[in-house]
Amino acid sequence: MTEQKSRQNRMLCVLMEDLVPKGHFLRKLYTTIDFSFIYEIMRPVYSDIGRPSVDPVILVKMLLIGYLYGIDSERKLEEEITVNIAYRWFLGLDLEDKVPDHSVFSQNRKCRFKDTEVF
């Protein structure tokens, strides 16, 4: 009888690109849509001063993931992106990158995007 020994603390060298299946829908979406147009649309609602912001393309892509995969809670969306390698790959986040906090969405809705037609 084989007992699996814990291997959780091993250091691995892998490419995230290799961990996302070739036929994954987000891979197809990534090659089909150039999301750089979002920067020009969002530029007027961002300030040149203050704390660094979360990349607006990441925020839009996060909302898109939520919509496509039926994740209707921003808190749940943050949790799912934290553990899903395909979601992280689509967003351009490495395994050690922190996923934007769910509160970023509510703060943007209340402050930055209030009284705008951006969406």
Q: Global pTM?
A: 0.84
Residue 10 belongs to some domain of the structure: no
Q: 3-state class of 76 per DSSP?
A: helix
Residue 23 belongs to some domain of the structure: yes
Confidence grade of residue 106 (pLDDT, cut at 50, 70, 90):
confident
Q: How far apart are CA 89 and CA 96, in angstroms?
A: 12
Residue 82 belongs to some domain of the structure: yes
pLDDT for position 12 = 79
Is 28 within 8 Å of 22 (Cβ atoms)?
no
Residue 47 belongs to some domain of the structure: yes
Confidence grade of residue 9 (pLDDT, cut at 50, 70, 90):
confident
Q: How far apart are CA 74 and CA 53, in angstroms?
A: 18
DSSP E strand boundaries for 15-113: none
Residue 66 belongs to some domain of the structure: yes
Residue 39 belongs to some domain of the structure: yes
Phi first, then psi, for residue 69 (nearest 5°) are -110, 15
Tell me how many domains the chain contains.
Answer: 1
